[in-house]
Structure 1
Amino acid sequence: MNKIISKMKRFLSIALLLIISISANAQDKKAKALLDDVTAKVKSYKNIAIDFKYTLNNAKENINQDSKGNVTIEGNKYVLNFMGVTKIYDGKKSYTIIPEDEEVTVSSVNDSDDKAITPAKMLTFFNSGYKYYMDIPQNVKGRKIQYIKLIPNNTKDQRKEILLGIDVQTKHIYNLIEVGKNGTKTTLTVNSFKTNQPLSKNQFTFVASKYPKYYINKLD
């Protein structure tokens, strides 16, 4: 009798593990499908203009900071305005304009380098280097936001996890929450997401004549 009970327990344990495994794989497939939809949507636009809010919080260190910014992206080119600094990338060189120091730093960027982080890649960064799982859905002002939990594959990564909030209807990223191993939490929330905007021909061109008194620091 004890042997029968023991075998039943073993069978139930194996069955439970299989159910959990099957459920997890199903969730992963749903997460992958949703992330693929987001990537396809981003790539379908000629350009994207985003206004965002950035929050940094660490309760242990009593840090709570809010900043706002905006970025315009077309292909691999972009103009980013954040914390008083403007960064322009024309597809070959990056120009970081710092009005407070009256300085422009110019550097080359290898866009084919997977390690090179650009605003364009921030919208599709999740395609490699992470395990992903479906997390909770939330209702935000009538919008259904589905969260996907991303766990970095690299154990040396200082981020414990990332929660990516996706608008289920539009397939646009609503927010991104990074939780650090040191307790720091940063949140980037998209306030507006505009696409296919009319842009000037010089939108992604650095015009030196606009900064006559600035020191031009060429790194290469």
Structure 2
Amino acid sequence: MQNKNTFKNLLFITFLILSSTSQAQDKNAKALLDQVTNKIKSYSSIIIDFKYSLSNTKENINQDSKGNVILKGNQYVLNFMGVTKIFDGKKTYTIVPEDEEVTISKVNENDNGAVTPSKMLTFFNSGYKYTLDEQTNIKGRKIQYVKLIPNNSKDQRKEILLGIDSQTKNIYNLIEIGRKGTKTTLTVNSFKTNQPLSKNQFTFVQSKYPNYYINKLD
């Protein structure tokens, strides 16, 4: 009986240790994510050059693309895969040179389901469970990863790894691992802040696209 009680006590103590460690990791992860959020909010503008990779070994898929985005508040200009998107704070202008078409649509920025570049830098603030993951050294930079697990069981993403530069508290990369084996990685190649921007930086000028079909969506 004594051995049985000792075993129970050992299991209980082990459970407490594991639970306290998990909570400490969550607190540390939360503190780090808060630092990233506060840092992002402190910048008047952000210019990012990035690399986007998609792979699926089962499907033998490997794709690499480059892009850039200019951010100021909730306004942005995104260039990716030959398409330019401009959001002026009220409407989104999607410019597709290959089709010579511009699609104009309204976006409700208060909609939690609306995915925008500005939200991509702070998406982790809700909807996820998070813990600290490994820390790696990449070209002399210490990158601390935070593992994010979506709360929504229907989310097609199994987990997300957010790499954060331990010194600058800026995002270095974001790795999404899908439930069907697809892995996407967005790596920040250049991160510039508080750069002077033209007052018309986020203004769509229709005269620049005289032969384009203008598709207006209400």
Could you state the TM-score of these two structures normalised by the residue count of structure 2? Answer: 1.00
Secondary structure of the 2:64 match is: strand
Within 5 A, what are the aligned runs for 1:1-220?
3-220=1-218
Aligned-residue offset at 1:176: 0.2
* Aligned equivalents of 2:105, 2:73: Cα separation in 1: 19
Report Cα offsets for 1:34-85 as digits up to 9, x if no partner: 0000000000000100000000000000000000000000000000000000
RMSD: 0.3
Letter in 1 for 2:175: I
Structure 2: runs of 5 or more not aligned: none
* Aligned equivalents of 2:176, 2:51: Cα separation in 1: 14
Could you state the TM-score of these two structures normalised by the residue count of structure 1? Answer: 0.99
Following superposition, which runs of at least 4 residues in structure 1 exceed 2 angstroms of deviation? none
Aligned-residue offset at 1:112: 1.1
Secondary structure of the 2:111 match is: coil
Identity value in percent: 73
Secondary structure of the 1:171 match is: coil
* Aligned equivalents of 1:66, 1:187: Cα separation in 2: 9
* Aligned equivalents of 1:210, 1:202: Cα separation in 2: 13
Secondary structure of the 2:175 match is: strand
* Aligned equivalents of 1:114, 1:179: Cα separation in 2: 22
* Aligned equivalents of 1:152, 1:169: Cα separation in 2: 27
Aligned-residue offset at 1:127: 0.2
Q: How many residues end up aligned between the 2 structures?
A: 218
* Aligned equivalents of 2:52, 2:139: Cα separation in 1: 20
Report Cα offsets for 1:128-175 as digits up to 9, x if no partner: 000001000000011000000000000000000000000010000000
* Aligned equivalents of 1:111, 1:152: Cα separation in 2: 21
